[in-house]
Amino acid sequence: MYREMVSNDWFTLLIILSILLIAIAKSLFASRFTDFLALVGNSKYLKIHSRDQRFLDLFDGLLFLNLTFSVALFVLLVFRHQSIGPEIDLDFFFKLAIGIGAAFLIKILVERLVGSMFEIDSFIDAYLFQKISYRNFIGILLVPINVFFLYSINPSKTLVGIVIIFLLMVNIIGIVTTIKNHQKLLINNFFYFILYLCALEISPYIILYKVIMG
């Protein structure tokens, strides 16, 4: 019981840290944050802020940190309740969070490089901005989910599956929105976009599936 209370203490601190990162983003960028919360089903945020997009500005950086912490915390909560994975401690959490963050950043850099090679930079820049935005939105959604998994509901395999499907649907909405907003540019570069999808969007998930199942 004592070990569980100690474990819950640092889980709680990590959730507070995530909430703090979101609160700072809201405080520094109040208007942008309001538009961001209406991201799904409303392209206002994407149309306004994609014009002056950067690799990662302060707003996206704060939400990206929350995303890495929230995803890592979600994974650890599932590991703990399913009794799988290595020993769960704070050191493992930070290693996992750093690994997740590094994987996201490396993938973005590679995608930008591929966009330059295929000469579809403008489309890839817009696509990456929208993808980053939707992933950061998923990071916010994970905060209350992690709270429920920690204090209220045990994350059974069925429930975890439902949550993952829900988050994937949000991500798919982001991809569909991107394609819809850039139909003309996409049609003109359709072949290169298909190569991009196969190389950097579909193949990583196939490899991950084989690693998990193998």
pLDDT tens per residue, the chain (214 residues)?
A: 334 444 678 889 999 999 999 999 999 999 999 999 988 877 778 878 776 666 678 999 999 999 999 999 998 888 887 766 666 778 888 888 998 898 888 888 888 887 777 777 777 787 788 888 999 999 999 999 999 998 888 888 888 889 988 988 888 887 777 777 777 767 776 776 777 666 666 666 666 555 544 4
Burial of 187-212, coded b for 16+ CB within 10 Å and e otherwise, reads eebeebbeebeeebeeeeeeeeeeee
Angle at the Cα of 71 from the Cα atoms of 112 and 206, rounded to 5 degrees: 60
pLDDT on residue 129: 86
The predicted structure's pLDDT at residue 55: 61
The pLDDT value recorded for residue 125 is 80
Two structure tokens written together for 168:
């994937």
Task: List the helix and strand counts (H, then E) for the chain.
Answer: 10, 0
**Closest by Cα among 147, 153, 25 to 74:** 147
Q: Angle CA(211)–CA(212)–CA(214) in degrees, nearest 5?
A: 65
User: What confidence score (pLDDT) does residue 204 get?
Assistant: 64
Q: If 0-12 CB within 10 Å is exposed, 13-18 middle and 19+ buried, where does residue 74 land?
A: buried
User: What total number of domains does the chain contain?
Assistant: 1
Q: How many residues does the chain have?
A: 214
* Residue 209 φ then ψ, to 5°: -60, -45
Q: Are 108 and 128 in contact (CB under 8 A)?
A: yes
- Model pTM greater than 0.75? yes
Instruction: Give the residue numbers spanning the domain of 33.
Output: 2-213
Encoded amino acid at 177, one letter: T
